[in-house]
Amino acid sequence: MEKGNQGIKWSSLIMGVLLLMLAVVIFTFPIENFYAITWLIGLFVLINGVIQIVYRRKAKA
């Protein structure tokens, strides 16, 4: 029987934390923090892209 990868996937953890932060901002001050919501979405996309590039390079190595 083979064991799967049981380690923490840091990218998933980071994305989860960012999404929780975004949810709190949205539900607390939806109109007043529109700029912050936009900024967090941009940050989320940027971090996700960097993580995908890093994993892609690791997979090719």
Pairwise pLDDT comparison (46 vs 40), residue with the higher score: 46
Pairwise pLDDT comparison (46 vs 61), residue with the higher score: 46
Residues 19 and 22: their CA atoms lie apart, in Å, by 5
Decide if 22 contacts 40 (C-beta within 8 A).
yes
Q: What is the pLDDT of residue 4?
A: 53
What does pLDDT average to over the chain?
A: 81
Residue with token string 């932060």: 21
